[in-house]
Amino acid sequence: MSNQDRADNVKTVEQSTQRTVLRSILVACGMFAFGFAMVPLYNVFCQVTGLNGKTDPDPYLYKAAEAKVDTSREIKVQFVATKNAGMGWDFSPSTPQVTVHPGEPGLLTFVARNPSDKRMIGQAIPSVTPFEATNYLHKVECFCFTTQTLEAGEEKVMPLRIIVDQDLPKHIKKLTLSYTLFDVTHMY
Amino acid sequence: MSTVTDSVDTDVKAHEDHGPAKGLMRWVLTTNHKDIGSMYLWFSFAMFLTGGAMAMIIRAELFQPGLQIVEPAFFNQMTTMHGLIMVFGAVMPAFVGLANWMIPMMIGAPDMAMPRMNNWSFWILPFAAVMLISTLFMEGGGPNFGWTFYAPLSTDYGPPSTTFFIFAIHMLGISSIMGAINIIATILNLRAPGMTMMKMPLFVWTWLITAYLLIAVMPVLAGAVTMMLMDIHFGTSFFNAGGGGDPVLFQHIFWFFGHPEVYIMILPSFGIVSAIIPAFARKHLFGYTSMVYATASIAFLSFIVWAHHMFTVGIPLIGELFFMYATMLIAVPTGVKVFNWVTTMFRGSMTFEAPMLFSTAFVVLFTIGGFSGLMLSIAPADFQYHDTYFVVAHFHYVLVPGAIFAIFAATYYWLPKWTGHMYDETLAKVHFWMSFIGMNLTFFPMHFVGLAGMPRRIPDYALQFANFNEISSIGGFLFGTTQFLFLFIIIKCIRGGEKAAAKPWEGAEGLEWSVPSPAPYHTFTTPPDVK
């Protein structure tokens, strides 16, 4: 190898090294972005598949034509009210369970009371089990669509209207709709 | 695999006056891959002792049921910091150190592709480690939420020092990414003429694949801790359900990083034993090509199995089945590797010097860890094993003999090349047997207590687990104290001993044995011709 050859060789090695490094840095930056992209991707994925029991965050639009009641079967819907750690409100459903036909609306209420001496804001997060039933339990009216503000000592009766979809898989006979109440006062 | 036709003697003489600078600043300013490799290895050993000391505290507390030595809050900090320090401080830097030392010499390159960045990626580490360890002395103590730092345990309920923990992880991540980019650039661009990809030693191959895993997943970890930082300080709700986020999302992001991460800690080991077993069996490695493809398959599969860490958090049946089968599939390429090692040994003229002892133990014990991994991969059975000591037994069986024993083996194997002296073989064998017995005494009984239902990460336990825990603790103390013998053997070898030949191991293959021992400060400034 002559000196000229060697010098040329060094140059091409340098160039190809730079290309490799640039590409690797791009991959690393891309993967950093992918980490954040997982947040919306995950939410879309959960909504489509009902993974994690995440229910639709918006009210269900009641379509009269589709709302034919399937009287051939009865579905038990149970309600669970949980308070997240540090949440001091009283929070419970008016009835632990309703029995409805698919397509028939079920109406009940939840009661929340703020026993503290401060104005507080709460947010209830719903979740459905079994997960595969998530997309078949519709909420026409729910206190979970917005935050709930309670003055010190205030009590509030909050209506909940649900409809079980007629397409609910036949083997599911019992659903659980669980609410966890979070104190979100510090966020507002 | 390859031989050198060029004489290296002239090369060495021409560069005699280019020796290392004198004084302490040599180590701060060095861009030499051998210096940086040594610093990585010493740093990793210091972290190994630090993390090991924490393990000793854990084992001392668990020696008897009840609370004897430390507060439960401090115990939680110990389990967390032990995991973090061993993963990010001991195992990963040790492999990067070995890569720095050996990869340029194995592919006939004069140095790493980016020597200055190499210096920088090392010198970030001590600062990150100091920041991480300093959290233990802060108000509220250090991280106490386990090395997996699940949100909201780490965001809503973590100590104030969590912010420092997050920045330490950022720095460790930046260091790893830079190290990985450097290794990729070195392997792809600086190979000597004739050193084709399929002639590269397996250590180089496994590290190339590991480096790709690193640049793919360390940024995801950086993203996860950044989201934590924003949740804690900037009012976002990535992982806060009350604000519309999802704590389970954290687990998905974490394990998307976490599962490839565990392969990052094992793939270079595969490369190490694939160098050592042929050398001491005096046969060529059986199935070189299949080893390369098996490594690549394992790396690919590592991206699609993460949710097997989350079987019990609630995923749909179809998800459980997918992740179960995908996980079991990993046993196939891993089995290919184990069979290749065994076949390499088969009918070889084997001798059992320390590197071979550690490598043989690696094959046997790593396989045991692999089998308990298969047990854990069965989704319905995992509900029984999840978060018990069975999991602790499993991952210590793959990490202690898998990563640590391979690092010991590599150290003994290449120590003559690094220092120019042979190490004390008798002491090294004592080190092996004490480590081997200590390790098995510590972790084997954990299988039993785990199956019987002892949960992990607890400072106290039910009385029926007392005997097995006592055995585990005794084994742990044995394993821990033995590592001071390792330190002694290394220092003794650096200070003197029988002169090592350029190729001290009869059956060894590779370019690194064509340079004198100790390896000159600069090697392969003119590339060797590889046949």
Q: Model confidence at B13, in pLDDT bands (50, 70, 90)? A: very low
Residue B422 and residue B363 in contact, taking contact as beta carbons nearer than 8 Å = no
pTM of the model: 0.91
Q: Model confidence at B242, in pLDDT bands (50, 70, 90)? A: confident
Q: With residue A92 as reference, give the H or E element that holds it.
A: strand A90-93
Of how many residues is chain B composed? Answer: 531
Separation of alpha carbons B301 and B264, rounded Å: 13
From chain A residues 3-42, the ones with a CB under 8 A of any chain B CB are 13, 16-17, 20-21, 24-25, 27-32, 34-36, 38-39, 42
Task: Show Cβ contacts of residue B107 under 8 Å, excluding neighbours closer than 6 positions.
Answer: B186, B187, B190, B191, B192, B195, B200, B204, B511
From chain B residues 92-131, the ones with a CB under 8 A of any chain A CB are 113-114
β A105-113/A137-141 pair status: unpaired
Q: Model confidence at B8, in pLDDT bands (50, 70, 90)? A: very low
- Identify the structural domains of chain B with CATH numbers, from first to last: 9-514 (1.20.210.10)
Mark yes or no for CB contact B219/A29 under 8 Å: yes
From chain A residues 120-179, the ones with a CB under 8 A of any chain B CB are 123, 125, 131-132
In angstroms, the separation between the Cα of residue B314 and the nearest Cα of chain A is 7
Check if A184 contacts B (Cβ < 8 Å).
yes
Q: Model confidence at A6, in pLDDT bands (50, 70, 90)? A: low
Q: Which of A17, A25, A31 sits opposite B216 (nearest CB)?
A: A31
Predicted pLDDT of residue B529:
85
Distances (CA, A) of B66 to A173, B61, B71, B138: 47, 8, 11, 27
In angstroms, the separation between the Cα of residue A64 and the nearest Cα of chain B is 31
Predicted pLDDT of residue A46:
80
> Quick one: tokens of B402?
């898998």
Mark yes or no for CB contact A184/B184 under 8 Å: no
| Closest Cα in chain A to B156 | A85
Q: Which of B199, B386, B456, B457 is catalytic?
A: B456
Check if A82 contacts B (Cβ < 8 Å).
no
Displacement of CA B360 from its chain's centroid (Å): 18
What's the whole-number mean pLDDT along residues B176-194?
Answer: 96
Residue B31 and residue B25 in contact, taking contact as beta carbons nearer than 8 Å = no
Check if B222 contacts A (Cβ < 8 Å).
yes
In angstroms, the separation between the Cα of residue B47 and the nearest Cα of chain A is 27
Check if A46 contacts B (Cβ < 8 Å).
yes
Of A36-50, B243-257, B452-466, the one with minimum mean pLDDT is A36-50
Each residue of A11-22: pLDDT tens digit? 788 899 999 999
Residues in chain A with CB shorter than 8 Å from the CB of B303 are none
| Residue in B273, B267, B308, B265 with CA at minimum distance from that of residue B86 | B265
Of how many residues is chain A composed? Answer: 188
pLDDT at B9 over 60: no
Q: Which has more pLDDT, B14 or B356? A: B356
| Residue in B51, B40, B239 with CA at minimum distance from that of residue B147 | B51
Residues in chain A with CB shorter than 8 Å from the CB of B188 are 16, 20
Residue B95 and residue B180 in contact, taking contact as beta carbons nearer than 8 Å = no
Residue B84: exposure state from Cβ atoms within 10 A (0-12, 13-18, ≥19): buried
Q: Which of B242, B244, B315 sits opposite A51 (nearest CB)?
A: B315
Check if B217 contacts A (Cβ < 8 Å).
yes
| Residue in B477, B521, B525, B528 with CA at minimum distance from that of residue B55 | B477
- Count Cβ atoms below 10 Å from residue A16 Cβ, excluding itself: 15
Q: Which has more pLDDT, A59 or B289? A: B289
| Residue in B374, B400, B159, B457 with CA at minimum distance from that of residue B269 | B400
Each residue of A172-188: pLDDT tens digit? 999 999 999 998 888 87
| Residue in B240, B316, B301, B310 with CA at minimum distance from that of residue B267 | B301
Q: Which of B34, B170, B191, B259 is catalytic?
A: B259
Residue B526: exposure state from Cβ atoms within 10 A (0-12, 13-18, ≥19): middle
| Closest Cα in chain A to B213 | A28
Separation of alpha carbons B361 and B406, rounded Å: 9
Predicted pLDDT of residue B244:
82
Residue B215 and residue B181 in contact, taking contact as beta carbons nearer than 8 Å = yes
Separation of alpha carbons B220 and A74, rounded Å: 46
Mark yes or no for CB contact B316/A28 under 8 Å: no
CA atoms within 13 A on the CB side of B473: 16
In chain A, alpha helices (H): 3-49
In eight-state DSSP terms, residue B1 is -
Separation of alpha carbons B186 and B335, rounded Å: 30
Separation of alpha carbons A18 and B113, rounded Å: 9
Please name the amino acid found at residue B427. L
pLDDT at A66 over 70: no
Displacement of CA B254 from its chain's centroid (Å): 18
The question of ipTM being above 0.95 is answered as no
Predicted pLDDT of residue A134:
85
Q: Model confidence at B293, in pLDDT bands (50, 70, 90)? A: very high
Mark yes or no for CB contact A125/B180 under 8 Å: no
Q: Which of B191, B337, B431, B447 is catalytic?
A: B337
In angstroms, the separation between the Cα of residue B152 and the nearest Cα of chain A is 11
Q: With residue A158 as reference, give the H or E element that holds it.
A: strand A155-164
Predicted pLDDT of residue B266:
96
Q: Which of B309, B396, B421, B431 is catalytic?
A: B309
Q: Model confidence at B428, in pLDDT bands (50, 70, 90)? A: very high
Q: Has B337 been annotated as catalytic?
A: yes
The most distant pair of C-alpha atoms in chain A lies apart, rounded to whole Å, by 92
pLDDT at A65 over 70: no
Separation of alpha carbons B464 and B507, rounded Å: 51
In angstroms, the separation between the Cα of residue B115 and the nearest Cα of chain A is 12
In eight-state DSSP terms, residue A47 is H
Q: Has B309 been annotated as catalytic?
A: yes
pLDDT averaged over every residue in chain A: 86
pLDDT averaged over every residue in chain B: 94
Predicted pLDDT of residue B285:
96
